[in-house]
Amino acid sequence: MAELRDRLQSALGDAYRIEQELGGGGMSRVFLAEEVRLSRQVVVKVLPPELAAGVSADRFEREIQLAAKLQHPHIVPLLTAAARGDLLYYVMPHFFGQEHTTHPTAAELLLDAVGVT
């Protein structure tokens, strides 16, 4: 666990400081971080390298692309996304009292609805 956290922190550079891991699901892990320049908490969702091969990476990339296009008051927006080496991740605002690890993003729900695996 610490290895992924350290690798993610390295990929994020000085822009974000990882505070703790919030959890993970079938294909991703979720971390609470501080966006240093703006002094705000964000959530970083990352695809672990061991899952990056094949279908998981393609699905995660589609999730990122779809999430970036969604704009609605009840959908958490995507702030940024990147790939650094074999790490693929995206950043979204953190809303206090919200559990990012148990509730799928709107993009995940849409991908499931159309049968994208």
- Judged against a pLDDT cut of 90, whether residue 5 lies above it is answered with yes
Q: What is the overall mean pLDDT for the chain?
A: 81
pTM beyond 0.85, yes or no: no
pLDDT (0 to 100) of residue 115: 54
Mean pLDDT, residues 11-34: 91
Contact call for residues 80 and 66 (beta carbons, < 8 A): no
- Judged against a pLDDT cut of 90, whether residue 43 lies above it is answered with yes
- Judged against a pLDDT cut of 80, whether residue 97 lies above it is answered with no
State how far the Cα of 16 lies from the Cα of 13, in Å rounded to an integer. Answer: 7
- Judged against a pLDDT cut of 80, whether residue 51 lies above it is answered with no
Architecture of domain 2-113 in CATH? 2-Layer Sandwich (3.30)
| Confidence class for position 113, pLDDT limits 50, 70, 90 | very low
